[in-house]
Amino acid sequence: MSSGDGASKKSKKPRYSRFTQQELPACKPILTPALVMASFISLGITFIPIGVSHLSASEQVVEIREQYDEICVPSNYTNPTTAHQERIRFIQDSRTDKTCTRTLTAPHKMKPPIFVYYQLDDFYQNHRRYVKSRSDKQYRKPRSETEYGDCDPESTFNNMPIVPCGLIAWSLFNDTYRISVNDIAIPINKKDIAWKSDKTHKFGSDVFPKNFQNSDLVGGAKLNESIPLSEQEDLLVWMRTAALPTFRKLYGRIETEIEARDRITVVIQNNYNTYSFRGKKNLVLSTTTWIGGKNPFLGQMYIIVGGLCLFLAIAFIIVYLIKPRPLGDPSYLSWNKNPPAH
């Protein structure tokens, strides 16, 4: 008993396509033992050489680091309870002579360019209050000088706009170094230490510092009001806030070679107040290779991971030889494992 009107109606049958029937051509990879072993071996083979070359590059870097924050304050602050306050008083006093001379020895021959960094420890340039305390608009255009963004509390002085505003600029690092090798003064090239993109686009060449560092509380360096922001490279470097509480910032470059065992004398103007928050200050002289500065971590990691991969590959092979499982063997199917009795 079939009704004949089915044919006359338009069929609603879905049109066939491989897509709608979920039959598109496809690749179905399976983790076969061979594939897994091969990929682990190849991972091992690629990772170990990378690790080794990274490590050797890291070894080639010659780095001299000198922590000077404690040494460069008068050594008579010995009373542990008061020493901290005395140090702060010392560094805040603008009249005291803060010159400090350190002598270092080059362990190896250092080829130019030798980078001069200052390194701060426990300085949280990534503190939320701090990172947001800037106004990128103000730095770019002279007419935006009243666009303070989140610059408070360093946005105005006596209701006059501070340029550059914000805590970051206010706290600009102001220690200075003079270096002489074997008593011969060596110039530190401070040109092009900042990113070119910052100089051309981020900081205006017609924006000049105004009312900067005029308040009672001096955070750091003062700026020459006749030089536009885009040329204040120390500021630009400082304004690239560091990611981590221990960080280096480029101070300058030395273009002369330093031989091994050369005596390097550094005259430090110890101005910057890291004592208030018990931070540390270091001077770093370092050469570079393709990996940047000295850091063996990545090389070690690569070697460990590579080694582990090789080890796993071998372990898999052994396990496979001892206890192989044929692929797609139906006797492993759950309903075949306990065959029901009939």
Partner 1 sequence: MDTSSNIEIIENSYQVPDYTRNSSSQRSISSFQSTQSKTSIREVNFSSELESKPVRHGSTGGADSEGFSASYKEINDDDARLIYINDPEKTNEKFEFAGNSIRTGKYSFLTFLPKNLFEQFHRVAYIYFLVIAILNQLPQLAVFGRGASILPLAFVLLVTAIKDAYEDYRRHRSDKIENNRLAWVLVNEQFQQKKWKDICVGEVIKVFGNETLPCDMVLLSTSDSTGVAYVQTTNLDGESNLKTRYAKQETQMKSPVEGKISGLIKCEKPNRNIYGFQANMDVDGKRISLGPSNIILRGCELKNTDWTLGVAVYAGRETKAMLNNSGAPSKRSRLETRMNREIFFLSIFLVTLCVVVCICHGIWLRRHEDELDLMQFYRKRDYSGPEVENYEYYGWGLEIFFIFLMSVIVFQIMIPISLYISMELVRVGQAYFMIRDNRMFDESSNSRFQCRALNINEDLGQIKYVFSDKTGTLTENKMEFKCASIGGLDFSSGTGNEQVEYSVEVDGMILRPKMKVKVDTELLDLSKSKHSDEGKNVHDFFVALAACNTIVPLTVETDDTSVKLIEYQGESPDEQALVYSAAAYGFMLIERSSGHIVIDIQGERQRFNVLGLHEFDSDRKRMSVILGCPDNKTVKVFVKGADTTMFSIINKSLNLDMVKATESHLHSYSSKGLRTLVIGMRELSTSEFEKWQSSYESASTALMGRAALLRKVANKIENHVTLLGASGIEDKLQQGVPEAIESLRSAGIKVWVLTGDKQETAISIGYSSKLLTSTMTQIVINNNSKNSCRKSLEDGLVMCKKLKIESGATGGGHGDGVSRLALIIDGTSLVYVLDTELEEQLFELASKCSVVLCCRVAPLQKAGIVALIKNRTEDMTLAIGDGANDVSMIQMADVGIGISGQEGRQAVMASDFAMGQFRFLVPLLLVHGHWNYQRMSYMILYNFYRNAVFVLVLFWYVLFTCFTLTTAITDWSSVLYSVIYTSVPTIIVGVLDKDLSRTTLLKYPQLYGSGQRQESYNGKLFWVTIIDTLWQSLAAFFVPLLAYWGSSVDGSSIGDLWTIAVVIMVNVHLAMDVMTWYWITHAAIWGSIIATFICVMVIDALSFLPGYWAFFHIANTELFWLCLLGITVGALVPRLVVKYLVQCYRPSDIQIQREAEKFGNLRVAEIEMNPIIDSPRTT
Minimum CB distance to partner 1, residue 307 (Å): 12
Minimum CB distance to partner 1, residue 121 (Å): 9
Query: 129 vs 183, which CB is nearer to partner 1?
Result: 129
Q: Which residue has the tokens 């690749």?
A: 27
Minimum CB distance to partner 1, residue 215 (Å): 5
CA distance 164 to 100: 30
Minimum CB distance to partner 1, residue 31 (Å): 5
Minimum CB distance to partner 1, residue 239 (Å): 9
**Cis ω on the peptide bond leading into residue 340 (within 30° of 0)?**
no
Query: 2 vs 75, which CB is nearer to partner 1?
Result: 2
Minimum CB distance to partner 1, residue 223 (Å): 16
Contacts of residue 79, Cβ cutoff 8 Å, sequence gap at least 6: none
Query: 171 vs 181, which CB is nearer to partner 1?
Result: 171
CB 251 within 8 A of CB 188: yes
CB 307 within 8 A of CB 138: no
**Cis ω on the peptide bond leading into residue 228 (within 30° of 0)?**
no
CA distance 298 to 302: 6
Minimum CB distance to partner 1, residue 270 (Å): 16
Element (H, E) at 156: strand 156-157
Query: 19 vs 226, which CB is nearer to partner 1?
Result: 19
Report the SS3 class of residue 154.
Answer: coil
Query: 108 vs 248, which CB is nearer to partner 1?
Result: 248
Contacts of residue 14, Cβ cutoff 8 Å, sequence gap at least 6: 20
Query: 154 vs 268, which CB is nearer to partner 1?
Result: 154
Query: 191 vs 226, which CB is nearer to partner 1?
Result: 191
Cα end-to-end span (Å), the chain: 42
CA distance 306 to 303: 5
Contacts of residue 301, Cβ cutoff 8 Å, sequence gap at least 6: 51
